[in-house]
Amino acid sequence: MVIEILYLLSFLFIWQFVGYPAFTAVVSYFSKPCEKDYNYKPFVSILIATYNEESVIASRLKNLLELDYPRNKYEILVINSGSTDNTSSIVESFTNCPKFSNPSIKLIEEDERNGKASAINLGQKYARGDIILITDANSLYDRSALREIMPHFKDPSVGAVSGKYIVSNPYRALPASEAFYWEIESIMFSGESYLDSVSTVIGTISAWRKELMNFNKKTLSEDLDMTIQVRSKGYKIKYEPEATVYELSAITSEEQIKQRKRICIGTIQNFFLHIRFFLTYPSLFTYVIFPSHKMLTMFSPFVLLSILFLYAFSWDLKVIVFHLMISISVFILIFILLMFLKSGFIKNTKTKYKFSISATPKIVYYVLLNEYLILLAWFDFIFDNYSVLWERADSTRQDILTQEG
């Protein structure tokens, strides 16, 4: 019985880290690309929730004003959540300038910080568009972002669309590991989009039908909350890899730890907030995509610890060595397949990161760090030790246009 449990746990571990990514890569490769009608151009309201973003907000607005989309077909709404710096005055310098009247830029003041979900809900009340798109102040869109995303909404079954996230400073140690992580995420999103829906949208480049959403103000992960809400209402969530967003990754361990732990807590929180949906709505999303991509990740430290416990419990050296050889061999073979699919079949021409064997130690460190952070996230979630107020990473608040240049 111990041996059977050991191999079951090993299967779950391998499936999560390399099996599911390879499976979705194969699905993506053999799926026919969707046809897009670029003549379909609905009016879009772009929302930016801000708190003390004076160092980047001007560059962000300039970037959004240069999108390759009809200027009379979108507006920009900046929700300022009680900033104590010059964020408001910088935005007002745009709103008061006739040069920036089309597309229009509006400043919406929120008296105090209540979290990003609260800011988005407020922004939606002032939005004129039937399609809402959210982004962050420290991001940079490719000019074609709106043009690539909006045609998906011509299909009435599509409720939301997410773009592709690219780390714009992958030459640093920690960002390099995160860049690899996002490349694998992109592979999985592509396959999930063909199967049913993506497991989650990317918070800084996601769009949805306005009538579908009212965010839970208590959630730490509004992007995941939105994904689940839209899917629970019967709509699909699609992935558009040609709509890209660039963002600096945190360069210090402290900032990475805060960001990753918050994401993990948000994932756990949303699972329990929407557990009835997962138990009562049979679909590929609820039975395969979300469990494989999200929940297995949240349980992976416990899977690893259980394997170590079973090793100690069995204390049979032959069994342990044989199991390790089989598990490692299968893991490596699937990983090679995954890298082959990534480099040979799935074209990521806009990415700045290229995988190399020399990067393996950094990736292993990144994975182990994540496993540790997941355990911390469970602890904080159980003991209610978290807040909806986000803490920004200062190293990601450099001038994004300068970085991109």
pLDDT at res. 292 = 98
Q: Distance between CA 308 and CA 74 in Å, rounded?
A: 55
Q: Return the sign of the alpha-carbon dihedral for residues 396, 292, 162, 270.
A: negative
Confidence of residue 256 (pLDDT cuts 50, 70, 90): confident
**Average pLDDT value over all residues in the chain:** 89
Crossing angle of helices 296-314 and 253-273, in 10° steps, is 100
Considering the chain, what percentage of its residues have pLDDT values greater than 90? 66
Query: Are 243 and 163 contacting, i.e. CB atoms less than 8 angstroms apart?
Result: yes
Least confident window among 110-119, 215-224, 249-258, 285-294: 249-258
pLDDT at res. 355 = 54
Amino acid type, 166:
I
- SS in 3 state form for the chain? CHHHHHHHHHHHHHHHHHHHHHHHHHHHHHCCCCCCCCCCCCCEEEEEEECCCCCCHHHHHHHHHCCCCCHHHEEEEEEEECCCCCHHHHHHHHHCCHHHCCCCEEEEEECCCCCHHHHHHHHHHHCCCCEEEEECCCEEECCCHHHHHHHHHHCCCEEEEEEEEEECCCCCHHHHHHHHHHHHHHHHHHHHHHHCCCCCCCCCCEEEEHHHCCCCCCCCCHHHHHHHHHHHCCCEEEEEEEEEEEECCCCCHHHHHHHHHHHHHHHHHHHHHCHHHHHHCCCHHHHHHHHHHHHHHHHHHHHHHHHHHHHHHHCCHHHHHHHHHHHHHHHHHHHHHHHHHHHHCCCCCCCCCCCCHHHHHHHHHHHHHHHHHHHHHHHHHHCCCCCCCCCCCHHHCCCHHHHHC
pLDDT digits (tens, 9 = 90+) for 347-388: 544 554 555 566 677 778 778 888 999 999 999 999 999 888
Q: What is the pTM of this model?
A: 0.90
pLDDT at res. 311 = 86
Confidence of residue 174 (pLDDT cuts 50, 70, 90): low
- Examine the pLDDT at 405 and tell me if it is beyond 50: no
Confidence of residue 398 (pLDDT cuts 50, 70, 90): low
- Give the mean pLDDT of 257-266: 91
Confidence of residue 241 (pLDDT cuts 50, 70, 90): very high
More confident residue, 102 or 202: 202
- Examine the pLDDT at 187 and tell me if it is beyond 60: yes
Confidence of residue 254 (pLDDT cuts 50, 70, 90): confident
Confidence of residue 403 (pLDDT cuts 50, 70, 90): very low
Q: Distance between CA 2 and CA 397 in Å, rounded?
A: 50
**Peptide bond before residue 103 is cis, with ω within 30 degrees of 0:** yes
- Examine the pLDDT at 18 and tell me if it is beyond 70: yes
- Give the mean pLDDT of 17-40: 91
- Give the mean pLDDT of 53-73: 96
Which domains does the chain show, CATH number per domain?
A: 1-405 (3.90.550.10)
- Examine the pLDDT at 263 and tell me if it is beyond 50: yes
Closest among 166, 362, 175 to 251, alpha carbons compared? 175
pLDDT at res. 404 = 46
- Quote the tokens at residue 194: 């063909």
